[in-house]
Amino acid sequence: MTNNPIYCAIDTSSIDKAVKIINEISPYVGGIKLGLEFFSSCGIEGVEKVAEHKLPLFLDFKLYDIPNTVKKSLKNILSYNPTYTTLHVSGGSRMLKECVDLKKELNSNTNLIGVTMLTSFDDDSINEIGISGTVNDNVNNLSVLALDCGMDGIVCSPMEIKKIKKTFGSKLKVIVPGIRNQTDNNDDQKRTLSAKKAIEFGADIIVVGRPITSAEAPGKAAEIFHQSIK
Ligand code: C5P
């Protein structure tokens, strides 16, 4: 186990590319996050191949469906023993509680992390899909629900870390994507911050994807991120 809070998002459809990047970055990251792009192409075999690297795994499938479907999918996911996995908090209390009960039943150590608002949303784009109020208010309300249901942590943007930590302290782990250092492209992330500031504000885990995986030398890019938070 490592204390390095950097999880690299390996968002690729190619297992060979994933393995190449992981080999280069493994000394500088605390874990590997695999999401839907990787899984929908490389499948469970890809997950097993990445698990061979013995780095902590974050399986980020952002489950959102009826409680029965989510619970049965989560059971499969927990069998891979990831350190973190994600569920949408907006799936509601029954879905979340059934998942928390399942984790207890299986004696699993996996941290169940609630996705509050995707970091690609801003106030205008949440209103567009019928959600009223600000991103900030919604992140707060969904975090209260996640805690009440017994979840271990939440995902939020760098902009919400301070407020979430002030309200919930160590009761909720805070996982933060949308990390960009000054010279990085923001891509589709609307609420970004540097790795150093995110850690200073209280992030427990920071997720860094394209600034590392799209760099000419991913190993060097990961090393720079690692140095920046020391
Ligand atoms: O490439 P980039 O650094 O933007 O990658 C961020 C990663 O974090 C992606 O894998 C994305 O799916 C994930 N993520 C996010 N916002 C959330 C939850 C997860 O960007 N709210």
Task: Return per-residue pLDDT of the chain as tens, 230 residues.
Answer: 468 999 999 999 999 999 999 999 999 999 999 999 999 999 999 999 999 999 999 999 999 999 999 999 999 999 999 999 999 999 999 999 999 999 999 999 999 999 998 878 888 999 999 999 998 899 999 999 999 999 999 999 888 999 999 999 999 999 999 999 877 777 776 778 999 999 999 999 999 999 999 999 999 999 999 999 98
Tell me the domains of the chain and their CATH numbers.
6-228 (3.20.20.70)
Alpha carbons 165 and 227: distance in angstroms, whole number: 24
Q: How far is the CA of 148 from the centre of ligand 1 (A)?
A: 25
Residue 6 phi, psi (nearest 5): -85, 120
3-state secondary structure string across 64-98: CCCHHHHHHHHHHHHCCCCCEEEEEHHHCHHHHHH
Q: How far is the CA of 202 from the centre of ligand 1 (A)?
A: 18
| Ligand 1, atom 17, residue with closest C-alpha | 118
CA angle 181, 60, 100 (to 5 degrees): 125
Mutate which of 40, 119, 214 for ligand 1? The one with the most ligand atoms within 8 Å of its CB, which is 119
